[in-house]
Structure 1
């Protein structure tokens, strides 16, 4: 929201809608000068005298283009404002190391009470400054904030989003550290890792490679000639360089400047020494991995009794970075990243999908499958899936909408003759066949019979698309051999597992596996049938009719008349066809479809 409200993406000569949002934020910081302070985005106004938790007013102007890229008036005048204010508060918190939040209860819980007898175990002991009460904010602090925000706003969009994600996640981690310190620790490490860059990764030297691994490798190479030993050492170090851990350590170290050990360390308790930082980062990564992989927590000595120290002695690991140490390191690395990253000039960009509160979902098929615009070879398979879903929904009574594919059918007739063989062409033929099988003959295309005869192979040769047409129309399922059924169902299952299948309704995938199991059981290939029956059940987990059918098949009491019609539409009696609405195939079982075909 910050870059959008700053006008980074607006087109020239386009009117702008503006709305001012104001929110109260709670903070352990107090503005020394109570006059309004204008930031690159927003204004902060001190509201109370210095207290343990003070209040301030954050004001920001929500700015959006009044016209969409297509020239129409934009219906969205402004966002709700909370996200914009929160983004400003996050950046202020990060840059100033002072808490700013709209959450009254959270801030009062985290900020150390002025009359607290013991600070141990408090959020203030974990993150000095961030949750200390009555922290004065001077004019120089605000200048630092403005410089950071200005640099942040001029980042390329990808870098900006990356940094804002780190800022939000790390601040959220500090706020829940009291409840789950290990999770907060791993989140801080993960934030650093998200800024890793292959270009900053450097190999370790053999003497600094992991000691245990080095001993094992050197023992195996004992007695080999020196050239081979050096070659293998180099290969191991290169493999380690491209690893995620080395990438994390190297990238972080590359962004640590002299200031980290000098003026920024003034007042810090036991700050990291430069000679130890590489090892500490490696240990921090290991701690993150242990939490993520085996749910191992940090010992209390790593956080409870640190009292703001940035490093602590941990019995099994020697000195490690504490939460306070990681927090200062994250802030330093992010500031270096923002300062060093390329800056960009404002340029037009359709930012609407990046606005808060946008929920992306696919419309029900009946609302889009009839649109001929955008229908082509690239979208044909997805369109077939939508058409099948729409017909099934209409047959089940879930939709009363008519489906008029006249425009789509016209494009199929124009496109198919010149298309190469393949799934896209088959999908178009299938859409054409389904439309003409499900509609009143008076609505058929004049050349429909000739078109379908010319491309009949696409509806007869074994394929998931041909099966779909067979199940959803009065054509019936083609007569394929048992081996063809097995090959088809196996190939479909493999494609489904890899995520490379033609999209089809779940019920179609179920019936393909089920029908294959039927065919194999009838042919006496029981063990194979049981495998495909399992596939059918697992495509629609928990379906009682499928579970009963599978149980009977396994027990040798095969039911060859599974009610496909009921499975597809959820009922056995359907309405009569009407103009521009599909007619429902009357068969009640998979077997009935095959008998009708015969």
Structure 2
């Protein structure tokens, strides 16, 4: 958010200027009346508050003019800005800083972690000290670092902020989980490697054991075909992640890491151990993510600030060493990137508390559109509306599809197969649930003409049969296979997903066929799947219990929509 708040990304004039203020709790101490002015905001000293310092954070937020159209914004508020700046402050000056007093107090306390059995200030130096006095060199570094950071191109800025926030979160986790902290510190480097190393995978990057097996399988295939297969595999594989992590880290280590920055370090990392320690760090990250493996004992404890240790003749980085290395690499990456003064950019969906949601189907379902995928999405949208009506959702009503379906009659044969089936299902369901007087003039003729598309086993036929009761001549095995295929493919492209009430209804419908065939065990299995597909439906769960006691007729509407059955009986 900080970069947005500076106005660097705007394409229109500034409409509002807001002076925002907030409090950052930190162990960083400024001298009385001191302040640090950066492009990301102003830090002002205050008196000590309890055991942690209180810093006042001020920012002039600029808001871009909205231009023509609906909607306007006066301010984002201080929360998102102060969270970003706290992370930058923590990272840049190697301190603790947060708008949360509770978190800061916990990190700076002498409280021992439940799993770590150590206090954070005994694991890494400075970051969790009670007081860190801000030197002039620190102020200047923060000013320069923030200017460079805010000046980055937007894509780079977003990636860097993720790395910084992951690094800071990893440091904070030292208070309660060494393994998670270690993993996050590795991830802070890896995220930059994945996004910005420009790596182009080659076949030699692919895992050797997999490569040999595939090469053997392709031995009798022409070289051109074999190369296409290899390229297709590489496009869908994350190859040599560990190698990319190591190479990126090595490229961003400067001589100062081994010289000025190592002045006060205990057992600092050497250049000849670098490759091994990076491999071990990445291995520890992988073992924790996949198997929750703990760090080796010499790493997983209070190490007296030593940066490296030896385990089975290999050098490992401690949390102290890894934190210094990760911070150095991220800083070097940031400082090497080009900056721009202005960058017109659509940041609307990247503002805090803004999310993108799908329009409810009633706002678009009736619009005439026969492009690829339109039939599938309209059938899915209609089913969601109809399910809400059946389940008595307030203020829900059936959308008017007259224009859409009238034009469909002359366009149906030009559609893709999946869209054609979906549109035929939509046309059939829509007209058959209406009163005869409300149906389209050509409804009966259209349905009779294209009914064959709903008589072969396919998902559109399944839902149409369930809702309007078409007569199907499928075998019970075909019916079962079609329904299971629907569940397997319902989230694929050019497929649709039914509301839970219809999915469980289709399962109950098939269960009834098995009951009639005397296969009670199979019927119970399908009823169980219907329950597990709709866990919140209490009547369905009760029916499952009753059916296991006495196998009786399975009427899906009475089970799933008991309120409708009651209304019909009262009428």
Band the TM-score falls in, shorter-chain normalisation: 0.7 to 0.9
Instruction: Please report how far the alpha carbon of residue 455 of structure 1 lies from its aligned counterpart in structure 2 after TM superposition.
Output: 2.7
Partner of 2:3: 3
Aligned Cα root-mean-square deviation (Å): 3.8
Equivalent residue runs for 1:526-565 within 5 Å:
532=526, 535-541=529-535, 558-559=551-552, 561-565=553-557
Pairing 1:481–2:471 present: no
Structure 1 position 56, deviation (Å): 1.5
Matched with 1:468 is 463
1:459 aligns with 2:454: yes
Structure 1: runs of 5+ lacking an equivalent: 114-119, 218-234, 577-585, 587-598
Structure-2 separation of matches of 1:201 and 1:406: 50
For 1:320, what is the secondary structure of its paired residue? strand
Structure 1 stretch displaced more, 385-394 or 141-150: 141-150
Counterparts of 2:33 and 2:150, CA distance in 1: 26
Whether the aligned pair in 2 keeps the contact of 1:200 and 1:254 (CA below 8 Å) is no
Select between 181-190 and 403-412 the one with higher mean Cα deviation: 403-412
Runs of at least 5 residues in structure 2 that lack an aligned partner in the other structure? 111-116, 213-229
Match of 2:561 in 1: 569
1:84 corresponds in structure 2 to: 81
Deviations, residues 489-518 of structure 1 (Å, cap 9, x unaligned): 242243249787422222333333333343
Which residue number in structure 2 is paired with residue 503 of structure 1? 497
Contact 2:306–2:320 under 8 Å retained in 1: yes
**CA 1:202–1:542 in 2, change beyond 3 Å: closer, same or farther?**
closer
Deviation, structure 1 residue 91: 0.7
1:356 corresponds to which residue? Answer: 352
Tell whether the 8 Å contact from 1:309 to 1:325 is kept in structure 2 after alignment. yes
Q: Does 1:413 align with 2:408?
A: yes
Query: Aligned partners of 1:480, 1:536: CA distance in 2, in Å?
Result: 21
Between the two proteins, the alignment pairs up a number of residues equal to 534
CA pair 39-407 structure 1, distance change in 2 beyond 3 A: farther
Deviation, 1:391, is 1.3
Q: TM-score scaled to structure 1, two decimals?
A: 0.78
The CA deviation string for residues 95-136 of structure 1, in whole angstroms up to 9 with x for no partner, is 1112222122332332368xxxxxx94322322221223322
**In 2, Cα distance between equivalents of 1:420 and 1:519:** 34
Question: Hey, what's the Cα distance between the residues in 1 that align with 2:423 and 2:200?
Answer: 50
Q: Does the residue aligned with 1:176 lie in a helix, a strand or coil?
A: helix
CA distance in 1, matches of 2:260, 2:406: 70
Query: Is the aligned partner of 1:157 residue 2:154?
Result: yes
8 Å Cα contact 2:509/2:556 also seen in 1: no
Contact kept, 8 Å, 2:178 with 2:300, in 1: the verdict is yes
C-alpha displacement at 1:532, in angstroms?
5.0
What is the rounded CA distance, in whole Å, between the counterparts of 1:201 and 1:317 in structure 2?
A: 34
1:342: Cα distance to partner?
A: 4.8
Taking the aligned partners of 1:51 and 1:390, their CA distance within structure 2 comes to: 57
Shift of 1:59: 0.8
Which position in structure 2 is the counterpart of 1:116?
Answer: none
Structure 2 CA distance, aligned partners of 1:566 and 1:349? 55
CA distance 1:269–1:32, change in 2 (3 Å): farther
TM-score, length of structure 2 as denominator length: 0.81
Find the aligned partners of 1:74 and 1:18 in 2 and give their Cα distance.
18
Matching of residues 14-413 of structure 1 within 5 Å? 14-32=13-31, 34-48=33-47, 53-67=52-66, 71-111=68-108, 121-197=118-194, 199=198, 242-298=239-295, 301-314=298-311, 316=312, 318-343=314-339, 346-362=342-358, 365=361, 367-368=362-363, 370-372=365-367, 376-406=371-401, 409-410=404-405, 412-413=407-408
Measured at CA, do residues 397 and 548 of structure 1 come closer, stay the same or move farther in structure 2, by a change above 3 Å? Answer: closer
Residue 437 in structure 1 maps to residue 432 in structure 2: yes
Post-superposition offset of 1:265: 1.8
**Residue 302 of structure 1: SS of its match in structure 2?**
coil
Deviations 1:129-186, CA, capped at 9 Å, x for gaps: 2122332223332222222222222333333222212211221221231222222112
Q: Is contact 2:24–2:82 with CA below 8 Å preserved after alignment?
A: no
